[in-house]
Amino acid sequence: MTSSRSTRRDALRNRDAILDAAARCLSDDPGASMSDIAKAAGVVRVTIYGHFASREELVEAVLIRTIDRSEAELAELDLEGDPVAALDRLVRRSWRIVDTFHRLLGAAEEALSNERIMAHHAEPMARVQALIERGQREGSMRRDLSAEWLTTCFSALLHSAAAELRAGRLAEADADRVVATTVVSLLTAPAG
Amino acid sequence: MTSSRSTRRDALRNRDAILDAAARCLSDDPGASMSDIAKAAGVVRVTIYGHFASREELVEAVLIRTIDRSEAELAELDLEGDPVAALDRLVRRSWRIVDTFHRLLGAAEEALSNERIMAHHAEPMARVQALIERGQREGSMRRDLSAEWLTTCFSALLHSAAAELRAGRLAEADADRVVATTVVSLLTAPAG
DNA sequence: TCTTATCTCGACACCGATGTATAAGTTAAT
DNA sequence: ATTAACTTATACATCGGTGTCGAGATAAGA
């Protein structure tokens, strides 16, 4: 098992290229084939099997990697203080990431049956929900809808914005403002 | 081509059963196979090819049929008068339909390349957008976000509600109120 | 009842994707 | 420079899905 020599640099580079390519391919087509991914990585298909035993394993690796990166990106974000301001920061910072992740999850659902992965997905959303619950307790966010449902809306709106951006129906320059305005106003809307 | 005898009743029945089954199967799994659909229709796979030349043709037929039915269901809805009240009626009446349709469209995107179909899809959404635009003109709906984007939000929220309902995270009894409240409050929110 | 349309059954060719195997070439560690 | 690790090229087995075909069974129209 443990060989005398250490892993070669080009092998590590390839492994990385494959993960990058897979992330790109799978997020814009959940059904992307191993050949597609290999081509995008500048590698021959068989090479992928030198690093990942199966498509399933590759998808899982990509997903975990993306989760870790997202976590890192969002971890440094301050969610303390005024909940509405925190929400605004959160939205502006995370909506692109959330979307990539969401699309990747689409690919994973077809290829994976791993609850551990789903647990990983639940965690960041739980953080959003906690923020919303705090906003509700402190009176700056609406109480007529459940925090759970509002969290779902949060996610849906971020995802829609990303889709509109991709489709060219939303201008890059407007995007941040639009998505933040939308989410914040929905969560702070009057009880009617 | 035109045979002396008219089409047999059981053939029509089967054709119908196939369309029904396809609508069900494809809306909860866009990748459902011809075998799956045949099984659900109580028919053998080859029989489908007696009615539809290919998977593509079947998907198209299902889509058109669903569009027609949705149109019929929504056509009788009165969108005149107070735009906000009309929006409320529209949401409550259409969110389930919109979702089925949306899911079917997911199946179609993989199997079809037909712009005519996409045009059909655009029409009902255009009606929603027109209503929103009227609301904006008459001052009862927000103007700080474009009618186009608000239409997208409308669709996204309806779709989310349906997904939550399916997942059991939203109670059947609450659903109508929740989705209507959400959409209406987002579209009438103050400009901040 | 007779006739014809339609359904079933089983088999088949085809395609694209996954995963394995082997030999020969290339690259990096030591 | 030597050696082990890695990549390539190529071929193959397998699997599931699509679409086709022909023969026999069955149901409906006249």
Per-residue model confidence as pLDDT tens digits over B16-48: 999 999 999 999 899 999 999 999 999 999 999
Model pLDDT for residues A60-110, shown as the tens digit of each residue: 999 999 988 888 888 889 999 999 999 999 999 999 888 888 888 888 877
CATH of A8-52, one of 3.40.50, 1.10.10, 3.10.20, 1.20.120: 1.10.10
Chain A closest-CA separation from residue B164 CA (Å): 8
Model pLDDT for residues B144-192, shown as the tens digit of each residue: 999 999 999 999 999 999 999 988 999 999 999 999 999 999 999 875 4
Measure CA A158 to chain center: 11
B89 falls in which pLDDT band (50, 70, 90)? very high
The Cα A184–Cα A53 span in angstroms is 44
Q: Which two tokens stand for residue A88?
A: 């605004």
What fold, for A56-188? Answer: Tetracycline Repressor; domain 2 (1.10.357)
**Residue B30: closest CA among B79, B78, B63:** B63
DSSP state of B141: S
Mean pLDDT of chain A: 91
A10: amino acid identity, one letter: D
Spanning CA of A113 to C1' of D19, the rounded length in angstroms is 32
**Architecture field, domain B62-188:** Orthogonal Bundle (1.10)
Whether the CA torsion B33, B39, B45, B51 is positive or negative: it is negative
- pLDDT on residue A122: 81
Cβ burial of B143 (10 Å; 0-12, 13-18, 19+) is exposed
Chain A residues touching B170 at Cβ < 8 A? 149
Yes or no, beta carbons of A156 and B152 under 8 Å apart: no
B100 falls in which pLDDT band (50, 70, 90)? confident
Other C-beta atoms lying within 10 Å of the C-beta of residue A59: 25
Chain A residues touching B169 at Cβ < 8 A? 148, 152
Count CA within 13 A, CB hemisphere, residue B188. Answer: 19
Q: Give every CB contact of residue B27 below 8 A, 6+ residues apart in sequence.
A: B100, B103, B104, B107
Q: Residue A161: pLDDT above 90?
A: yes
The runs of H, that is alpha helices, within A29-146 are 34-41, 45-51, 55-75, 83-111, 115-137
The Cα A69–Cα B167 span in angstroms is 28
The Cα A32–Cα A58 span in angstroms is 12
Q: Residue A183: pLDDT above 80?
A: yes
Q: Is there contact between A35 and strand D, defined as CB under 7 Å from any strand atom?
A: no
The Cα A119–Cα A109 span in angstroms is 13
How many Å from the N-terminal Cα to the C-terminal Cα in chain A? 66
Model pLDDT for residues B40-80, shown as the tens digit of each residue: 999 999 999 999 999 999 999 999 999 888 888 888 899 99
The Cα B69–Cα B78 span in angstroms is 17
Chain D positions within 7 A of any protein Cβ atom are 4-11, 16-22, 27-30
**Residue A75: closest CA among A92, A94, A61, A60:** A94
Q: What are the boundaries of each domain within chain A?
A: 8-52, 56-188
Instruction: State which of A32-36, A122-126, B92-96 shows the largest mean pLDDT.
Output: A32-36
The Cα A129–Cα A134 span in angstroms is 9
Q: What percent of chain A has pLDDT over 90?
A: 70
- pLDDT on residue A2: 46
Q: Residue B111: pLDDT above 80?
A: no
Q: Give every CB contact of residue B29 below 8 A, 6+ residues apart in sequence.
A: B36
Q: Which two tokens stand for residue B175?
A: 């659903």
